[in-house]
Amino acid sequence: MIVAYDSRTVRTAEAPLLASGAPLMERAAFALAGIVAREVRSQVGRVPGSRVVVVVGPGNNAGDALFAGARLARAGVQVTAVLTSERTHEEGFAAFRAAGGRWMSLVASLSAPDEPAREHGVSVATAVGTVMEADVVLDGLLGLGSSGALRGVTRDLVGALVRARARSEHRSPLVVAVDVPSGIGVDDGSVPGAVLPADVTVTFGAVKAGLLLPPAARLAGRVESIDIGLSLHTADVDGQDRPAVRRLTAQDLVHQRLLAPPGADAHKYTRGVVGVVAGTEQFPGAAVLTVSGAIRTGTGMVRYLGARDVTAAVLAARPEAVPAGGRVQAWALGPGISTAPPATDDATRAQQGRIRHTLAHATGELSSDVVGDKVPAVVDAGALALLPRACPPWVVITPHAGELAQLLRARGEDVERPDVEAEPLRWAQRARELTGATVLLKGEVTLVVGPGCVYSQADGPAWLATAGAGDVLTGVLASLLAAHSSAAVKEPALPARLAAAASLIHGLAAHRANPGGPISALDVADALPGTIAQILRDHASDRRTR
């Protein structure tokens, strides 16, 4: 599992070490210089004689970059620092100059106003020209201390660099962000203004939440986390150093038994029975995809409920499906059903009626003596408008940004799709507060918000943004919830973990369906069995040796 922390937690963990004189910045700069040297070597084949520019701001983030720059200069790299502020990290700057680093400043005076240096007050255009000739640029403008959009000359420089890189047809330097890409919301992953997109982010002590959260996550490139000696816990317990964001890996699916091969005494109810209410004559494919997603994830049995023609389509594609009600351990509700009640046709009205009835039982809203009535449910597409006012966490809603905005508006929030896209964490958390449900917000990076936990999964290729892919995900998630049905009702955070697991499996299946090329939703469903077999093969042995 990858875990990420907010800035307050990281600073709290740093404080005692700094007080005892632990050389945190030296450790950070040492590791940073090593990674930059490796990147330079892979870019230009050698380290001495290569060109690196460090762009630096006023604080300790600049200190990391300048000390790393000093190390690189001593290794024979031509290093130039571009200063953007009247003050910078003094010791770092002194070490950098002592190592032979060159520098220029965008401000007219740098702590010594009378010093006649031609490097003072250079134009943004001059700085951009220098950066664009480099092999690697280090973004050491701002780190944990950043607040809001970049301001002043820092904003001008970053804006000009973004434009120069977009214009440059041939080469532009590889960007290594120091701790975080400067200007992102370190804690919430927001992107309030211009940010220089990084190819690599070298982050110190712990991954910062904003590096995993959309939309900033896509500006971080590959994230390399450097251990500088902070001790932070990853456990699921309340406390100051609880992770702000988690990301599951394939290994977690096996180690946490989210995926497990059936035991010798397994039968369909131990493997889980999924009930699907999806599809109408207008959108029969959604029913096929949802049912396929559940069956191909290894569920014990799928019951399908819908109109006769849609049932025929489901059975033609998946003869294993059972076209009748009965005991169900998790529901998949809503794909292929119109999102705008009241429905104008009988078939949609019938499906909506089934969904209302199912949700009333599954959530425990209708008191019932029937054992196993309270069961997890995935609420997608057309079922979102039918969500009860208050839900337990074993109801998992799976909207995309537009659907989430619609659901929030129906609950009195003034929010549109672009607002959700700009601050997905904020709005997913708001939806959880307002509904009580676990929220899986689909996107390039999928967010899952459950009670006291946030997961961020970025596993699928961009090709996965295709019609029907969400229907398959609904089936995958219902299958996992059915396999853990009673635990998911008892443990409030388990549905969120299973939702993150479903997103991960779905993303990996998309890669497997056609590596590097176009995929259809049914291809993703068909790739699920092989993907799951691969995950179990790859990680079963390391589980045994733990």
* Binding flag, residue 64, K ion (CB under 5 A): no
Q: Are 535 and 250 in contact (CB under 8 A)?
A: yes
Query: Residues 214-253: x/- map of binding to ligand NPW (CB under 6 A)?
Result: --------------x-------------------------
Which residue stretch of 138-146, 319-327, 400-408, 485-493 sits at the interface with ligand NPW (rule: CB under 6 A)? 138-146
* Binding flag, residue 204, ligand NPW (CB under 6 A): yes
- d(C-alpha 229, C-alpha 235), whole Å: 18
Contacts of 153 (CB under 8 A, 6+ apart): 84, 85, 106, 107, 124
Angle value at C-alpha 351, between 349 and 353, nearest 5 degrees:
70
Least separation in angstroms between CB 229 and ligand NPW: 10
Residue nearest ligand NPW, Cβ-based: 143
- Say whether 445 counts as a known binding-site residue: yes
- Say whether 143 counts as a known binding-site residue: yes
Angle value at C-alpha 20, between 14 and 22, nearest 5 degrees:
65
Choice between 128 and 250, CB closer to ligand NPW:
128
Q: Are 3 and 234 in contact (CB under 8 A)?
A: yes
Least separation in angstroms between CB 234 and ligand NPW: 20
- Say whether 470 counts as a known binding-site residue: yes
Query: Residues 33-62: x/- map of binding to K ion (CB under 5 A)?
Result: ----------------------------x-
The values of phi and psi at residue 174, to 5°, are -70, 135
**Is the peptide bond between 342 and the residue preceding it cis, with omega within 30 degrees of 0?**
yes
Query: Of ligand NPW, K ion, none, which one does residue 150 interact with (CB within 5 to 8 Å by kind)?
Result: ligand NPW
| Helix, strand, coil percent values for the chain (each to nearest 5) | 45, 15, 40
- Say whether 459 counts as a known binding-site residue: no
- Say whether 238 counts as a known binding-site residue: no
Which residue stretch of 52-60, 106-114, 494-502, 522-530 sits at the interface with ligand NPW (rule: CB under 6 A)? 52-60
Q: What is the DSSP string of 340-390?
A: SSSPSSHHHHHHHHHHHHHHHHHTT-S----TT-S--EEE-GGGGGG--SS
Which residue stretch of 37-45, 179-187, 205-213, 259-267 sits at the interface with K ion (rule: CB under 5 A)? 179-187
* Binding flag, residue 82, K ion (CB under 5 A): no
How many angstroms separate the first and last alpha carbons of the chain? 15
* Binding flag, residue 533, ligand NPW (CB under 6 A): no
Q: Are 28 and 58 in contact (CB under 8 A)?
A: no
- Where does 174-213 have alpha helices with state H? none
- Say whether 511 counts as a known binding-site residue: no
- d(C-alpha 448, C-alpha 464), whole Å: 18
Q: Are 276 and 322 in contact (CB under 8 A)?
A: no
- d(C-alpha 4, C-alpha 88), whole Å: 28
Burial 224-241 (b: 16+ CB within 10 A, else e): ebbebebebeeeeeeeeb
- Say whether 60 counts as a known binding-site residue: no
- Say whether 516 counts as a known binding-site residue: no
> Looking at this protein, which amino acid is placed at residue 477?
L
* Binding flag, residue 154, ligand NPW (CB under 6 A): yes
State how far the alpha carbon of 184 is from the alpha carbons of 137, 197, 458, in Å. 18, 10, 18
* Binding flag, residue 144, ligand NPW (CB under 6 A): yes
User: Considering only residues 50, 61, 225, 299, which one is a binding residue for ligand NPW as defined by CB under 6 A?
Assistant: 61
Query: Of ligand NPW, K ion, none, which one does residue 146 interact with (CB within 5 to 8 Å by kind)?
Result: ligand NPW
- Say whether 219 counts as a known binding-site residue: no
Q: Are 212 and 32 in contact (CB under 8 A)?
A: no
Q: Are strands 453-457 and 102-105 parallel, antiparallel or unpaired?
A: unpaired
Choice between 210 and 272, CB closer to K ion:
210
Least separation in angstroms between CB 74 and K ion: 22
User: Considering only residues 70, 150, 434, 469, which one is a binding residue for ligand NPW as defined by CB under 6 A?
Assistant: 150
* Binding flag, residue 178, K ion (CB under 5 A): yes
Query: Of K ion, ligand NPW, none, which one does residue 204 interact with (CB within 5 to 8 Å by kind)?
Result: ligand NPW
Q: Which of residues 26-45 bind ligand NPW (CB under 6 A)?
A: 28
User: Considering only residues 16, 49, 129, 148, which one is a binding residue for ligand NPW as defined by CB under 6 A?
Assistant: 148
Which residue stretch of 139-147, 360-368, 409-417, 473-481 sits at the interface with K ion (rule: CB under 5 A)? 139-147
SS3 480: helix
* Binding flag, residue 353, ligand NPW (CB under 6 A): no
* Binding flag, residue 69, ligand NPW (CB under 6 A): no
Q: Are 306 and 325 in contact (CB under 8 A)?
A: no
* Binding flag, residue 181, ligand NPW (CB under 6 A): no
User: Considering only residues 14, 64, 135, 139, which one is a binding residue for K ion as defined by CB under 5 A?
Assistant: 139
Choice between 142 and 276, CB closer to ligand NPW:
142
- Say whether 286 counts as a known binding-site residue: yes
Q: Which residues bind ligand NPW (CB under 6 A)?
A: 14, 18, 24-25, 28, 57-62, 64, 142-151, 154, 178-179, 204-205, 228
Q: Which residues are annotated as a binding site for K(+)?
A: 61, 139, 182
Footprint of K ion on this chain (CB under 5 A)? 61, 139, 178, 182
